[in-house]
Amino acid sequence: MMVAETPAIWTRALEKRYQDVVAVRSLDLEVRQGEVFGLLGPNGAGKTTTILMLLGLTEPTAGEAHVIGLDPARHPLAVKRHVGYLPDNVGFYGSMTGRQNLRYTARLNGLEKAAAESRITDLLTRVGLLDPADSAVETYSRGMRQRLGLADALVKEPSVLILDEPTTSIDPTGVAETLALVRELAHDHGVAVLLSSHLLHQVQQVCDRIAIFVSGEVVAMGTLQDLADQQSAGANVIIEVGADGLPEQVDQTLRAVAGVSGVEADERDPRIRVVTGAPGIREQVARALIDAGQIPWHLRSRGMELGEIYQRYFSGTMVPPSRRARTQPVDEPREKPATGPPASTLTGTRPPPARRPIHKGRIASGTNKESDPRD
């Protein structure tokens, strides 16, 4: 994995308030080049508001943010030249084909025509849209538009990629391909990927580190193992044990170990015993079995799955008292979006004339130079 010393995304005490509503509170975040960083939380937790601040599409109420060393509130267009963005509800010009939409994005970003054509064909292939590439986008399913959105975000070869619910409406095969592409971009090409999602299993599959959002605050951050360790500190541990000998004799040996509070047969494999006990019993269990001549052939600690970790935080059991009054998600106020091309395309031009996007809820801003999408 490629890891740079300077974070690609950095925030300190970043905050966004809408009158009395706190959408994001005191956010400290670092995302490094070459890693996939997951923002995990329910709708309304503050994930999208965080992304909008990082893109310069809404100004923070307090705190600092740097993306590739730039303040997005002061230099939004410079940031967008290096950042690919896939919003959660992507839209395109419906009368144009998928290929034409990507050509338009390439022109907005100043890509040379021959190089752009080669890259567009490669991206369409990688997202599984080469066959329908020359069909009008208005004929695409939502999942196809989401795939096209990922290709659109990658046209300019960004050093930072921000994905807001990237697998929405994509079929299972497409989800696997999308997540594999995300991993490849980060681990093989050094792209810093910030992935926002409420889908726990997908975050667990692809993310190197995770931040759990609850009502505008990050209540936990780290690798999956870090989060599991935080949860299990001082709590009982569970160990799977398989050992030579009669089950009754193995059970007797295990129950005699100091700190063991329970021994049960595994539901899936009756040869395996599930041992519950105090932290640190694994070594004692192994020594006791060996001393009894019951050589262990399977010894594995059961770690917490991300779903269990998330539920503990979101239920309030691991949330500090000062935060527990706000454990229910609130709707995130949105800046009023303008119609136009994907935010990932913006480098200083405005949408083409006489074209309306298939979905109006797109975020766009720009200056005054026009470009005809039909070229």
What is the sign of the dihedral through the CA atoms of 355, 356, 357 and 358?
negative
Tens digits of residue pLDDT in 154-195: 999 999 999 998 988 888 888 888 899 999 999 999 999 999
Model confidence pLDDT, tens digit, residues 261-312: 999 999 889 899 999 988 778 899 999 999 999 999 999 877 656 666 667 6
Mean pLDDT across the chain: 82
| Nearest-angstrom CA–CA distance, 211 and 39 | 5
Beta bridge partners of 84: 161
Cβ atoms within 10 Å of 187's Cβ, excluding its own: 16
pLDDT tens readout for residues 66-118: 999 999 999 999 999 999 999 988 889 999 999 999 999 999 999 999 999 99
Residue written as token pair 């144009």:
96
> What are the tokens at 354?
């006489």
Measured distance CA(128)–CA(151) in Å, rounded: 10
Please determine, for residue 313, whether its predicted confidence score (pLDDT) is greater than 70: no
Alpha-carbon torsion angle 49, 43, 190, 362, nearest 10: -60
Instruction: Give the integer Cα–Cα distance in Å for 140 and 133.
Output: 10
Secondary structure letter of residue 299 according to DSSP:
E
Judge whether 196 and 47 are in contact, CB under 8 Å: yes
The number of helix segments (H) and strand segments (E) in the chain equals 11, 13
**What distance in Å separates the CA atoms of residue 86 and residue 164, rounded to the nearest whole number?**
6
Angle between helices 142-154 and 172-189 (to 10 degrees): 10
Handedness of CA 144, 149, 154, 156 (dihedral sign): positive
Q: What is the mean pLDDT of residues 310-337?
A: 48
Single-letter amino acid code for the residue at 57: L
Q: What Å distances lie between residue 224 and 206, 208, 211, 221, 349, CA to CA?
A: 11, 8, 10, 9, 41
Q: From the CA atom positions of the chain, what is the Rg in Å? A: 25
The tokens 């010009």 sit on which residue? 93
The burial of 221, by beta-carbon neighbours within 10 Å (0-12 exposed, 13-18 middle, 19 or more buried), is given as middle
4 pLDDT band, cuts 50/70/90, is very low
User: Pairing state of beta strands 237-243 and 209-214?
Assistant: unpaired
SS3 339: coil
CB of 76 closer than 8 Å to CB of 97: no
Distance CA 79, CA 149 (A): 19
Q: How many CA atoms lie within 13 A of 206 on its CB side?
A: 31
The DSSP code sequence of 132-161 is: TTTSBGGGS-HHHHHHHHHHHHHTT--SEE
pLDDT tens, position by position, 12-70: 999 999 998 999 999 999 999 999 999 998 888 899 999 999 999 999 999 999 999 99
Determine contact, residues 238/275, Cβ cutoff 8 Å: yes
What average pLDDT does this structure show over 223-239? 72
